[in-house]
Structure 1
Amino acid sequence: MENIILISGSVNYTITLDPGVWIFDDRRIDLKTYFTSKQADANDLEEYTKAVSKHWDREIVEGAVFPPTLKTEKKFEKEKVLTGTFGIPLKPFLKNAEPFHDATHLVVKSSDGDIELPLDRAYDLVLGFSDNGKPLDSGGPIHVYFGDGSNQQDPIKNIKLFFVK
């Protein structure tokens, strides 16, 4: 249970975060390239629609049978998962918690001390959960990175709770 982190406080719904399952989440991002590549603020629904359309088109053209290239792609993705360094944006979890309209800040509670951020900046946070294919044991279960990558070399560690106020 020590790997479970809550988003609570001035929210309609308390959210339970379990970093152990994020490796299977399609929203995961590669932390080795995320802060260095130019980020486009894309619409999540638009990205999902494009991915589903591409898959549908592929099935129409090639059939539901997996061609050798698709098998190779899947093998590559499995290898990437086993050796990658990943994070996940905090934004969808924070949105699902539905902060109260008068909430203005997010407090990142850590055993190293608390950090208070304006709520609009908190939506840009990235939660690191994997380093070279392994869960974060040192300072984990997650590390918090600012969206601009300014603390990429020194993330916030030992997170215990996210508290909206």
Structure 2
Amino acid sequence: MRHGRLALRSALGTGVLAVSALVLAPAAGAVDPQTATLDFECGSYGSGSATLKAAQNGTGATIELSTAAITAPIPIGAGAVNSTLTLTKNGTGTTTFTGNANPALPAGSPVSTGPLNGTVAPGDSLSAKSLRIVVFGITVTCNATSEQKPGPFVF
């Protein structure tokens, strides 16, 4: 009987430790920060601030982007904006996030695009560098003119 109680206590102790580890472990696929801002210069199309929202699911990540640097000159239907966001990766290389999942944009509204899809690895640090948007065959290229705040996305 004594061995039975010892085994039960040992099993309960192991279970408590396992649950504690799960509660204290960071969430899988967490990105920090989840939202960042920066400024873009888009040549004759304008300049202004942009807000980026990042999310992660395993090695897949998405970034949604909204910028006042470019406004829709006419109504633009959902899915009509092809976007490529280039980001500095770990301070030396680059990576791209692409997509055409924009919402419908009324004339005069800021351009929103995303989710843009990309691939990340644990520890990747990404900062927006440039944005290329193609709408109705017209290409607009925007370059970051400020650092991403509060800092790069860390996956």
- Fold-level similarity (TM above 0.5): no
Higher helix share: 1
Structure with the larger RCO, 1 or 2 (CA within 8 Å, 6+ apart)? 1
TM (norm. structure 1) is 0.27
Greater Rg over alpha carbons, structure: 2
